[in-house]
Structure 1
Amino acid sequence: MKKVSVFLKTSQPSPHQFVEFYRKIAQKGDTILSIHITAKLSGTYTSAVAAAEELKGEFNVIPIDSAVGSLGIGLMCREARKMERAGKSVDDIVKYIEGIKSKVRVILTLDTLEYAKMSGRVKALQAALASVLNVKPIAVLSDGVLNMAERVRTRKASLERVLAMGKEEYGDKPVYLGVVHARDLKSGQALLEDAKKQFNAKETMISELAISIAANLGPGTVGLILYPVE
């Protein structure tokens, strides 16, 4: 992604692909909890809903819009699995996910606005000014919507601001702490080490940013995922 000069576009799976996948992994009559990236950034959830409708009577498919992406979805899936193994009902699991998703925060800093410009998320003039002034934007994914929240001078300051914004939101509350990055493992590891010192993290992890988000924000994007422990 770093070497291309054109904007990369992603494409969600088709309803037919979901139908084939569900039939491959499940047996007739099974309930399938299908958790997906925010519907406001991808059509994946919509495809899953269409597939669920087609499979009525064969499977009980329950598509869920996670309102997040990347590690956030992974943590939801893990917690859902824990609940299932503990004997919780499907309704209990769905209720938990619907309740937790508005509390998960994804705070990112971009290395450049060029990819956001090509995706239509910022205007060309804003991107040009940010480049000239060495401004590093901060984006927040909250309730499924990715918004440009602030602009900070220098990379160092932007990483510090990401931590500060997370701290303002969660304070000393226990969280699962994740760091995501788009082709910048070094910055991601540095952010994770700093975050460990500031948050009441019950568990930490690092991963590459989901391509559907990274394609809109560009290489060099680094950020935090804060998932409350309940």
Structure 2
Amino acid sequence: MLHIVTDSATDMPLAWREQFDIHVIPVNLCIQGKTYKDEIDLDCERFLELVARTRQIPTTAQPAPHDYIELYRSIAKPGDTILSIHLSSKLSGTYASAEMAKQEVGEQLEIVPFDSLSGSAATAFMAREARQLANKGAGLDIILERLAYIRDRVRIAFTLDTLEYAVMSGRIRRLQAAVVSVLQIKPIVEVRNGLIEMTDKVRTRKRATARLIEKMQASFGDQPINVAIIHAWASEAGEALCHQVQRSLNCQEVFIDQLSNGVASHLGPGTVGIVAYPILQNRLRPT
């Protein structure tokens, strides 16, 4: 039997967890000397309140290998296979912890860690497609081939509404942030080769969201794509971007979700973005 695990840095419709039997291991969030388990000890609203009140950006820590072992053993029996899909190894140690857990329980369970080299909704789509393929009888080799296809082609791009939180996290200097604020510049960041990079600086929010769509059009043209609109405490902005995306791109499926707490705290409220990948029209495509 195949079990699927991901981490709480994955942005995924809550219903998918039950519908596609996807297990989520929480990332640890540390603030003011206290450690919280993401989504268990803190929901997104309480987390935002905590960051705003303390004026501190939390540090994040991957689940320990024993956390993985405990989860793996609770969901599987000897002889089962666990596909563990995680946030980019270049951004977090979640994948490394899964590899260490594999060494501990490898004789009882077949653990297959998969480095997404991405995160957010990309890992959600990977987990969902893995389950769909497994339900159709696909072997692990076919599933991993499909996940590699998504990993190689997914695009992730966000635009930030404020640099206040990036300043608090130390990712940008206060003077730079002040200049950007006066000029109404909205930075655009993308996940490239497993890392987050600033790729554009655009004047005004309207132009920034238009630029996100232009990037997706340049990548996919009129290919059918699956899309997620991800936002940080900005549901109205997410809805507006979703309507624009559906008018501009050949979307087969679209969902909207809140950005995970750990990432949202660094990018700040108002952040919105697009996660998209093309649908392959061959034997690897689940139906």
TM normalised by structure 2 equals: 0.77
Q: 1:40 aligns with which of 69, 80, 90?
A: 90
Equivalent residue number for residue 249 of structure 2: 199
Task: State the Cα distance separating 1:8 from its structure 2 match.
Answer: 2.2
Alpha-carbon separation, structure 1, partners of 2:222 and 2:137: 31
Count of aligned residue pairs for this structure pair? 230
TM normalised by structure 1 equals: 0.95
Amino acid at match of 1:128: A
- 1:20-44 residue CA offsets vs partner (Å, 9 max, x unmatched): 0000000011110000111222211
Alpha-carbon separation, structure 1, partners of 2:102 and 2:154: 26
Equivalent residue number for residue 111 of structure 1: 161
Task: State the Cα distance separating 1:95 from its structure 2 match.
Answer: 2.0
SS in structure 2 of the partner of residue 35 of structure 1: strand
Alpha-carbon separation, structure 1, partners of 2:169 and 2:115: 22
Amino acid at match of 1:55: V
User: Any stretches of 5+ residues in structure 1 without a counterpart?
Assistant: none
Task: State the Cα distance separating 1:166 from its structure 2 match.
Answer: 1.1
Q: Which piece of structure 1 moves more, 38-47 or 74-83?
A: 38-47
Q: 1:24 aligns with which of 69, 74, 91?
A: 74
Task: State the Cα distance separating 1:17 from its structure 2 match.
Answer: 0.4
Equivalent residue number for residue 221 of structure 2: 171
Contact 2:87/2:94 (<8 A) preserved: yes
Is 1:50 equivalent to 2:50 in the alignment?
no
Once the two structures are superposed, the pairs formed by residues 60-79 of structure 1 within 5 Å of their partners are 60-79=110-129
Contact 1:45/1:64 (<8 A) preserved: yes
Q: 1:14 aligns with which of 53, 64, 77?
A: 64
Task: State the Cα distance separating 1:228 from its structure 2 match.
Answer: 1.5
Q: Which piece of structure 1 moves more, 40-49 or 189-198?
A: 40-49
Contact 2:58/2:262 (<8 A) preserved: no
Alpha-carbon separation, structure 2, partners of 1:211 and 1:59: 31
Task: State the Cα distance separating 1:207 from its structure 2 match.
Answer: 0.4
Alpha-carbon separation, structure 1, partners of 2:259 and 2:216: 18
Once the two structures are superposed, the pairs formed by residues 87-166 of structure 1 within 5 Å of their partners are 87-166=137-216
Residues 228, 212 of structure 1: alpha-carbon distance in 2 compared, 3 angstrom cutoff: farther
Q: Which piece of structure 1 moves more, 23-32 or 86-95?
A: 86-95
Alpha-carbon separation, structure 2, partners of 1:116 and 1:36: 24
Contact 1:101/1:143 (<8 A) preserved: no
Equivalent residue number for residue 14 of structure 2: none
Q: Which piece of structure 1 moves more, 35-44 or 19-28?
A: 35-44
Residues 215, 42 of structure 1: alpha-carbon distance in 2 compared, 3 angstrom cutoff: farther
Alpha-carbon separation, structure 2, partners of 1:120 and 1:38: 21
Alpha-carbon separation, structure 2, partners of 1:228 and 1:115: 32
Q: Which piece of structure 1 moves more, 17-26 or 88-97?
A: 88-97
Alpha-carbon separation, structure 2, partners of 1:154 and 1:142: 24
Contact 1:102/1:142 (<8 A) preserved: no
Q: Percent identity?
A: 42
- 1:105-154 residue CA offsets vs partner (Å, 9 max, x unmatched): 11100012232233343344322321222211000112311100101111
- 1:64-84 residue CA offsets vs partner (Å, 9 max, x unmatched): 111121211111111111111
Alpha-carbon separation, structure 2, partners of 1:116 and 1:42: 18
